[in-house]
Amino acid sequence: MSEPFRKPPPSGLSVVLFVFAAIDLLLALALLVVGGFTWQFWAIALIGAALAAYGLKERLFPAERG
């Protein structure tokens, strides 16, 4: 009998990306409260969203190792 297909476990990179994304989005929230919708808010919010998206991609579709 053959073994069913197993996805490789998620890497630690996704956890690190989620932590950085959370910190970044909290900073964006603080900027929103203090200064409103400035270009700094949008830049930091987009960076945080990109980090979170890449972390989710790494969690769902981990890169092949070896």
Domain ranges of the chain: 21-59
Q: In whole angstroms, what is the distance from residue 66 CA to residue 63 CA? A: 10
Quick check: 1 pLDDT over 80? Answer: no
pLDDT, one tens digit per residue, over 10-54 is 678 888 888 999 999 999 999 999 988 999 899 999 999 998 898
Tokens of 52: 């979170």
Question: Which residues have CB under 8 Å from 9's CB, separation 6+?
Answer: 62
Q: In whole angstroms, what is the distance from residue 7 CA to residue 21 CA? A: 25
pTM of the model: 0.73
Spatial contact of 5 and 50, defined as CB atoms under 8 Å apart? no
Spatial contact of 16 and 65, defined as CB atoms under 8 Å apart? no
